[in-house]
Chain A
Amino acid sequence: DQQVKQNSPSLSVQEGRISILNCDYTNSMFDYFLWYKKYPAEGPTFLISISSIKDKNEDGRFTVFLNKSAKHLSLHIVPSQPGDSAVYFCAASARVRGSNYKLTFGKGTLLTVNP
């Protein structure tokens, strides 16, 4: 049973426009959400995160919105650039033993930004 879902396998956007990547989750124990960016044959790199006590976090061109009642989050990239083309993974964090956390990942969305 997938606890973190990214229902769009791919998204194509024109350079300069907004990219919106969506993510839904089912487990109400998740209390922290992260977005990672991944290029082929490389490890994911951390992009931006949000705590469940907030509804928005912004970092430059990247903004993450959290709608806790809908169990939905989205990543907005404005303006989109060709270098943003990559796979974007949504991840949700829940506490495991002690004070560490386990991440559960969605399947990813391939973003293509066309020049």
Chain B
Amino acid sequence: DGGITQSPKYLFRKEGQNVTLSCEQNLNHDAMYWYRQDPGQGLRLIYYSQIVNDFQKGDIAEGYSVSREKKESFPLTVTSAQKNPTAFYLCASQGLAGVNEQFFGPGTRLTVL
């Protein structure tokens, strides 16, 4: 089955620790995205990548880092510099150039204690 996987579904970390969220897709999509959702808020773009070894900051990149070493994978690291890391994180991918639909993974709920 083609799709986007995010693991784990729930993640707990202590304050001050860095944590990396996984996102893998087997859709052969070039572009991948990370969003954050907070209660009562829409989805806010953290980082995006259009091709391997290239990525761009989104609207709320501070305190986050990413890498794109493989087409299939786009991990997100939430660093200790992120002031409010507890949130629901969503990864998405987009296929053909000019096709606007993004397809989302199931999300990871990160709770920082």
Contacts from A to B (Cβ < 8 Å)? 4, 6, 9, 32, 34, 36, 41-46, 49, 89, 91, 93, 96-108
Contact (Cβ within 8 A) B101 A46: yes
Contact (Cβ within 8 A) A101 B43: no
Residue of A nearest to B49 (CB): A100
Residue of A nearest to B4 (CB): A43
* Least CB distance, A35 to chain B, in whole angstroms: 11
Contact (Cβ within 8 A) B100 A97: no
Residue of A nearest to B99 (CB): A101
Contact (Cβ within 8 A) A32 B40: no
13 contacts between A and B (CB under 8 A): A32-B100, A34-B101, A41-B107, A44-B104, A89-B42, A96-B56, A97-B50, A99-B97, A100-B30, A100-B48, A103-B102, A105-B35, A107-B42
Which residues of A have CB within 8 Å of B97?
98-100
Which B residues from 52 to 100 make CB contacts under 8 A with A? 56, 58, 88, 90, 92, 94, 97-98, 100
Q: How far is the CA of A104 from the CA of B106 in the complex (A)?
A: 19
Contacts from B to A (Cβ < 8 Å)? 4, 6, 9, 30-31, 33, 35, 40-45, 48, 50, 56, 58, 88, 90, 92, 94, 97-98, 100-107, 109
Q: How far is the CA of A49 from the CA of B100 in the complex (A)?
A: 9
Given contacts A9-B40, A44-B90, 8 further A-B contacts (CB under 8 A): A43-B90, A43-B92, A46-B102, A49-B100, A97-B50, A98-B97, A104-B45, A105-B42
Q: How far is the CA of A60 from the CA of B58 in the complex (A)?
A: 34
* Chain A-chain B contacts (Cβ-Cβ < 8 Å), number: 68
Residue of A nearest to B58 (CB): A102
Q: How far is the CA of A101 from the CA of B56 in the complex (A)?
A: 12
Q: How far is the CA of A79 from the CA of B111 in the complex (A)?
A: 39
Q: How far is the CA of A108 from the CA of B39 in the complex (A)?
A: 10
Q: How far is the CA of A106 from the CA of B106 in the complex (A)?
A: 19
B9, B33, B35, B101: residue with the most chain A Cβ atoms closer than 10 Å? B101
Which residues of A have CB within 8 Å of B101?
34, 46, 49
